[in-house]
C-alpha cells in the first residue's frame, strides 16, 4: 500500500601507510556517498574524475582496478590517495509538502601498485559507493525518513602481459555494506535500525596498445553478492542489496604527443538485481522475491574525455558523461530514498607534477539535475537534486 500523494624504503612505507589510511577511513566512515551512476560514483580516481570518468582504455593511477583491472599493468610503481567532497542539495515534494536535505560528504579513494617483473604486476584499489540522506522529518510515515547505503570495496589485482602490449587483469572484490532505512511506516515497514553485510565478487579486464597512438580496453565485473540484511528481510526483495554486474569497452587515441582523447561505453545491469530492478507495483509483498523495489532499468553510459600536457609539470583535463534515464517517473516514490537521476555530468581537472615522482591532481565534476515527476502509483511525488564533486588527489610514482 502506498501513501496517498504523499629513497626506496620511504616510498614503500608511504604507500603502505596511504593504503592503510584509505582502508581504515573507508571502514570507519563506511564511505557515505551521494552517487549518481546509480549508487556508484561517476568516476574512480582523481584523474578520471577530471575526464568524466573515462578510464577503461586510459589508466592513469592506482585506483584503476575500480575501472579496468588490466589497466594496473601499465600505471607502474605508484601510490595514490584522493578525497572527494560531495555537495548535493535535495528537494522532494510529496502530496504538496516539501522536504529537503543537503549532503556534504567526504569520500576517500586510493590504491597502490607494484611491478613484479616484466610480465606481471600486483596492486590493490579501495573505493566506495552508496547513498546518504536524512530529511529530518517524516515523509512516508511517523519517523524521520532516512536512507543510507554505505559500501567499501577492496580490490586486490594481478595482471599478466599475454603478448607484446597486451594485458589481462583479474581482481577479486571484497566488500562491506551498511544500510539504514527508516520512516516507511505507511508502507507497513518499521525499521529496527542499521544492519551490515559482507559481500564478494570479481572483475576481469583486458587492455591492448594497438600502436603508439591507440589503446583499447574491455572490462567485466560480476555482481557483488552480499549477505542478507536481516533487519530488512521485510522490506527488500530477498533482503539483499547486491551491486549489479557491469561491462564496458573503451578507446584512447593520442591525437598529437600532448593531446589524448578517450571514450568509454558502460552497461550496468540494475534491472537484474531484484531490489533495484523490481517495480514498485511488482505485485508481491514487501521483502518477497517479487516484492516492490526501486524499479530501475539497465543503465547505458557514454563517457568522453581529453587530456592535454601543457609542459613537463602541468596536464589539464575535461570530460562529460551521458546516461539513459534509467529511473522512470513511475518509480518516483522510492526515488525519494535514492535521488540518483543526475544523468548528465561535466568535469574539468588538472595535475601538477612537483618533483621526484610527486604529483597533485584537482578535479571538479558537476552532475546536472533531472527531476522526476511521479506518474501512476507515484503521482504527487517529485524528486530532484544536482551534485557537485570536488576532488583532490596526491600520487607518488617510484
What is the C-alpha to C-alpha distance for residues 208 and 70, in angstroms, rounded to an integer? 9
The answer to whether residue 2 sits within a structural domain is no
What is the C-alpha to C-alpha distance for residues 59 and 83, in angstroms, rounded to an integer? 19
The answer to whether residue 327 sits within a structural domain is yes
- Closest among 386, 321, 272, 323 to 34, alpha carbons compared: 386
The answer to whether residue 231 sits within a structural domain is yes
- What distance, in Å, lies between the first and last C-alpha atoms of the chain? 59
Check residues 159 and 32 and name the one with the higher pLDDT: 159
The answer to whether residue 393 sits within a structural domain is no
Secondary structure (DSSP) of 187-249: GT------EEEEEEEEEEEEEEE-SSSEEEEEEEE--BEEPP-GGGTTTSGGG--PBPPEEEE
DSSP state letter for 37: B
Mean pLDDT value of segment 48-70: 97
CATH code for the domain of 225: 2.40.160.60
Q: Does 107 score more than 90 pLDDT?
A: no
The average confidence (pLDDT) of the chain is 90
**What percent of the chain has pLDDT above 90?**
81
What is the number of structural domains in the chain? 1
The answer to whether residue 398 sits within a structural domain is no
Range in 13-22, 59-68, 340-349, 370-379 with the lowest mean pLDDT = 13-22
| pTM for this prediction | 0.90
Give every CB contact of residue 152 below 8 A, 6+ residues apart in sequence: 23, 26, 27, 30, 31, 126, 127, 128, 175, 176
Q: Which domain holds residue 127?
A: 9-388
**The three grid cell numbers given for residue 179, joined into one nine-digit string:** 544500510
The answer to whether residue 4 sits within a structural domain is no
Give every CB contact of residue 333 below 8 A, 6+ residues apart in sequence: 2, 3, 140, 280, 374, 377, 378, 381
pLDDT of residue 36: 67
Residue for grid cell 551512476: 37
Mean pLDDT value of segment 261-265: 98
- Closest among 335, 337, 321, 331 to 377, alpha carbons compared: 331
pLDDT of residue 102: 87
The answer to whether residue 1 sits within a structural domain is no
The answer to whether residue 76 sits within a structural domain is yes
Amino acid at each position: 500500500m502506498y501513501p496517498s500523494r504523499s629513497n626506496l624504503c620511504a616510498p614503500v612505507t608511504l604507500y603502505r601507510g596511504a593504503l592503510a589510511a584509505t582502508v581504515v577511513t573507508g571502514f570507519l566512515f563506511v564511505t557515505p556517498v551521494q552517487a549518481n551512476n546509480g549508487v556508484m560514483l561517476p568516476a574512480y580516481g582523481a584523474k578520471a574524475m577530471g575526464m568524466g570518468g573515462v578510464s577503461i582504455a586510459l589508466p592513469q593511477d592506482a585506483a584503476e582496478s575500480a575501472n579496468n583491472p588490466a589497466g594496473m599493468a601499465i600505471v607502474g610503481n605508484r601510490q595514490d590517495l584522493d578525497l572527494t567532497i560531495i555537495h548535493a542539495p535535495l528537494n522532494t515534494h510529496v502530496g504538496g509538502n516539501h522536504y529537503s536535505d543537503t549532503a556534504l560528504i567526504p569520500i576517500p579513494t586510493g590504491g597502490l601498485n607494484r611491478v613484479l617483473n616484466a610480465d606481471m604486476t600486483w596492486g590493490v584499489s579501495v573505493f566506495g559507493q552508496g547513498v546518504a540522506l536524512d530529511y529530518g522529518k517524516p515523509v512516508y510515515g511517523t519517523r524521520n525518513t532516512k536512507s543510507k547505503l554505505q559500501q567499501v570495496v577492496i580490490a586486490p589485482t594481478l595482471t599478466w602481459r599475454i603478448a607484446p602490449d597486451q594485458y589481462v587483469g583479474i581482481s577479486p572484490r571484497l566488500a562491506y555494506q551498511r544500510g539504514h532505512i527508516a520512516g516507511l511506516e505507511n508502507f507497513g515497514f518499521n525499521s529496527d535500525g542499521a544492519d551490515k553485510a559482507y559481500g564478494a565478487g570479481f572483475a576481469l579486464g583486458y587492455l591492448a596498445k594497438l600502436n603508439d597512438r591507440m589503446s583499447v580496453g574491455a572490462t567485466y565485473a560480476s555482481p557483488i553478492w552480499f549477505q542478507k540484511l536481516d533487519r530488512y528481510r521485510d522490506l527488500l526483495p530477498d533482503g539483499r542489496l547486491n551491486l549489479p554486474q557491469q561491462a564496458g569497452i573503451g578507446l584512447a587515441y593520442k591525437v598529437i604527443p600532448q593531446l589524448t582523447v578517450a571514450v568509454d561505453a558502460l552497461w550496468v545491469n540494475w534491472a537484474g538485481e531484484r531490489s533495484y530492478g523490481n517495480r514498485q507495483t511488482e505485485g508481491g509483498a514487501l521483502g518477497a522475491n517479487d516484492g516492490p523495489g526501486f524499479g530501475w532499468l539497465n543503465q547505458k553510459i557514454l563517457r568522453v574525455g581529453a587530456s592535454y600536457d601543457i609542459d613537463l609539470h602541468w596536464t589539464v583535463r575535461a570530460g562529460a558523461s551521458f546516461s539513459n534515464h534509467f529511473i522512470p517517473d513511475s518509480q518516483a516514490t522510492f526515488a525519494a530514498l535514492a535521488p540518483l537521476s543526475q544523468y548528465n555530468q561535466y568535469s574539468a581537472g588538472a595535475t601538477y607534477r612537483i618533483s621526484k615522482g610527486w604529483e597533485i591532481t584537482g578535479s571538479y565534476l558537476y552532475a546536472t539535475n533531472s527531476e522526476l515527476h511521479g506518474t501512476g502509483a507515484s503521482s504527487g511525488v517529485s524528486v530532484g537534486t544536482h551534485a557537485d564533486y570536488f576532488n583532490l588527489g596526491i600520487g607518488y610514482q617510484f
